[in-house]
């Protein structure tokens, strides 16, 4: 996979792309990430990338011309057409399904704007506008790095077989079960007995039940897309039972 990033802060990407899983994927030649300075596609002395908004108001707006030149120039560098992703707070919220779809593309161009926003006409370059959540950031650089991380770890050959198939078992749409490592007792907190029992059937059942109940309590909206057995549905319904003595969150 080839990813081209367009940004006015290409230096922000160095450490993140060199480190950890993304670094390994790059070393193995599974992904190439090229960061480009948007100012390289400006033509004025000050290398201007933004301007005042028509109609007035605070802040500045990213000018369309350098963005069009950048995306056109990068598209022309390769016969394979790139999927163009713009990061903006008004974009589709990134999720695992989108990360999976993007990980199957040969080429991506990611465009990072500053918080002020893009001239609306520049957004016509985008195949996809993405947000990474409902909070305000100062620019699209961190969202681009988050998205590159989410995509890269899904590329075949990046994670080991064990980690990849473990991942698949969680694409059932539930949160992870609780995990423990040594010591068996720490500051008065014990590792659950079942995990030390060596009974793999009981362990699998406990983990599944923990994943289901934890998801129901913390992120009930995720259950809409999860596949639950009838007995698991009964557990969830019990948690949300209006007659329950327990204090439970609202669905
Ligand atoms: O807040 C932003 C500013 C610029 C570009 C993207 C964002 C953003 O993306 N996801 C959340 C916020």
Q: What is the mean pLDDT of residues 116-142?
A: 97
- The verdict on residue 128 lying in a domain is yes
Q: Is the pLDDT of residue 242 over 80?
A: no
Residues 63 and 86 in one domain: yes
Could you tell me what percent of the chain has a pLDDT over 70?
A: 95
Residues 84 and 202 in one domain: no
Query: Which pTM value belongs to this model?
Result: 0.94
Residues 140 and 208 in one domain: no
pLDDT at 162: 79
d(CA 208, CA 105): 33
- Specify the ligand 1 atom closest to the Cα of 139: 4
Q: How far is the CA of 115 from the centre of ligand 1 (A)?
A: 7
Range of the domain at 67: 2-152
User: What's the token pair of residue 231?
Assistant: 């007995």
Residues 225 and 123 in one domain: no
Number of separate domains in the chain: 2
- The verdict on residue 162 lying in a domain is no
Residues 67 and 136 in one domain: yes
- The verdict on residue 157 lying in a domain is no
Residues 190 and 232 in one domain: yes
**Residue range 191-239, pLDDT digits in tens:** 999 999 999 999 999 999 999 999 999 999 999 999 999 999 999 999 9
- The residue whose CB lies within 8 Å of the most ligand 1 atoms, and thus the one to mutate among 7, 87, 135, is 87
pLDDT at 114: 86
pLDDT at 170: 61
Cα of 175 vs its chain's centroid, Å: 16
CATH number at residue 172: 1.10.1270.20
Lowest mean pLDDT among 19-23, 74-78, 153-157: 19-23
Residues 19 and 114 in one domain: yes
- Going through the chain in order, the beta strands assigned E by DSSP cover 2-7, 32-37, 50-51, 61-62, 83-93, 107-112, 128-131, 185-186, 189-190
Q: Are 141 and 12 in contact (CB under 8 A)?
A: yes
Residues 200 and 112 in one domain: no
Q: How far is the CA of 98 from the centre of ligand 1 (A)?
A: 17
**Residue range 139-171, pLDDT digits in tens:** 999 999 999 999 999 999 999 887 877 776 666
- Specify the ligand 1 atom closest to the Cα of 136: 1
């Amino acid at each position: 996979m080839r990813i081209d990033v367009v940004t006015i802060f290409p230096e922000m990407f160095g450490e993140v792309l060199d480190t950890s899983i993304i670094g390994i994927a790059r070393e193995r030649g599974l992904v190439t990430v090229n960061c480009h300075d948007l100012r390289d596609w400006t033509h004025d002395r000050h290398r201007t990338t933004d301007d005042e908004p028509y109609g007035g108001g605070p802040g500045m707006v990213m000018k369309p011309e350098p963005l069009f030149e950048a995306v056109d120039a990068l598209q022309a560098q390769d016969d394979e057409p790139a999927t163009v992703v713009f990061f903006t707070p008004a974009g589709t919220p990134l999720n695992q399904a989108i990360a999976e779809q993007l990980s199957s593309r040969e080429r991506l161009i990611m465009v990072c704007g500053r918080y002020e926003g893009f001239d609306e006409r520049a957004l016509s370059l985008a195949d996809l506008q993405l947000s990474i959540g409902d909070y305000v950031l100062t620019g699209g650089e961190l969202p681009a790095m988050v998205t590159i991380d989410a995509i890269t770890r899904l590329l075949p050959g990046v994670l080991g077989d064990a980690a990849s198939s473990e991942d698949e078992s969680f694409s059932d749409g539930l949160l992870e079960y609780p995990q423990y490592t040594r010591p068996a007792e720490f500051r008065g907190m014990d590792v659950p007995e079942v995990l030390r029992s060596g009974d793999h059937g009981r362990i699998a059942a406990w983990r599944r039940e923990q994943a289901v109940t934890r998801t129901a309590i913390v992120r009930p909206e995720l259950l809409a897309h999860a596949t639950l057995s009838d007995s698991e549905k009964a557990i969830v319904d019990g948690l949300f039972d209006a007659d329950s003595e327990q204090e439970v969150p609202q669905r």
